[in-house]
Amino acid sequence: EPGDDLTTDLIAAREAGDGLSEAELVGTLLLMLVAGHETTLNLITNAVRALLAHPDQLRLVLDGALPWSAVVEETLRYDSPVGQFPLRYASEDIEVGEVVIRRGEALLASYAAAGRDAGHYPDADRFDLTRQPARHLSLGHGPHFCLGSGLARLEAETALRHLFGRFPELALAEGERPEPIGSFVSNSVRTLRVRTRK
Ligand code: HEM
């Protein structure tokens, strides 16, 4: 069903012989689905979980003292939806503090750890919506900075506003101890059981 969308444009580019192979077309669409779905799902889940564990912070947003965008940015820092993104390779020797990373060595940049860097954020393990500004690496950095960052922020803000607007008494289910996803890349919980009212 062709329409005004990226999939249609990519297929058209392929059919026009625009240099996109079948494998590249399928790979790009897969990337868009994975990069665009699971990441945002994690962000929304991690934000709900953090807000329910910090009712004083939730109150600040429900009372209108802070915007939902503050929740999105602080969640990205505090509980990065992509924990780490394998792998990068040093294109030259790089000195980091007392360590030299040799050209060709593999590197794992942990966005999740960066968000909790005590040298960078005061009281880094605290979920604090009033941080100004809550800068983080959770959407990447440099030329490969997340292509969907604007969409992801908009989706998460909209979802959170509507969820808590509709269910202001939302709370974690009794005894809920959510299990981590168990992935090296994706950082969230498998399920998050909640009650919609007291
Ligand atoms: C909260 C949600 C999201 C998070 C945490 C996230 C995270 C990231 C990160 C960390 C990177 C950089 C990867 C690298 O350094 O190589 C990235 C790249 C990318 N993201 Fe996202 N992303 C999110 C949502 C989305 C959405 C909604 C889309 C598309 C609809 C998307 C599409 C992409 C694409 C295509 C790239 C590759 C960009 C490039 O290599 O030039 N992402 N994302």
**Domain-by-domain residue ranges, the chain?**
12-195
Q: Which atom of ligand 1 is least distant from the CA of 76?
A: 5
Q: How far is the CA of 39 from the centre of ligand 1 (A)?
A: 8
The SS3 of residue 35 is: helix
Residue 86's pLDDT is what?
Answer: 84
Residue having the nearest C-alpha atom to atom 35 of ligand 1: 147
pLDDT of residue 198: 81
pLDDT score, position 150: 97
To test ligand 1's pocket by mutation, which of 73, 75, 147 has the most ligand atoms within 8 angstroms of CB?
A: 147
Q: Which residues contact 35 (CB under 8 A, 6 or more apart)?
A: 146, 147, 148
Please give the pLDDT value at position 77.
97
pLDDT tens-place values along the chain, 198 residues long: 899 999 999 999 899 887 889 999 999 999 988 899 999 999 999 999 999 999 999 999 999 999 999 999 999 999 999 999 888 999 999 999 999 999 999 999 899 999 999 999 999 999 999 997 778 999 999 998 999 999 999 999 999 999 999 999 999 999 989 999 999 899 999 999 999 988
- The whole-number pLDDT of residue 135 equals 81
List b or e across 140-152, with b for residues whose CB sees 16 or more CB atoms inside 10 angstroms. eeeeeebeeeeeb
Residue 99 sits at φ, ψ, to 5 deg, of -105, 140
Residue range 12-195, CATH number:
1.10.630.10
> Which residues line the pocket of ligand 1, CB cutoff 6 A?
31-32, 35-36, 39-40, 43, 81-82, 85, 111, 138-140, 144, 146-148, 151-152
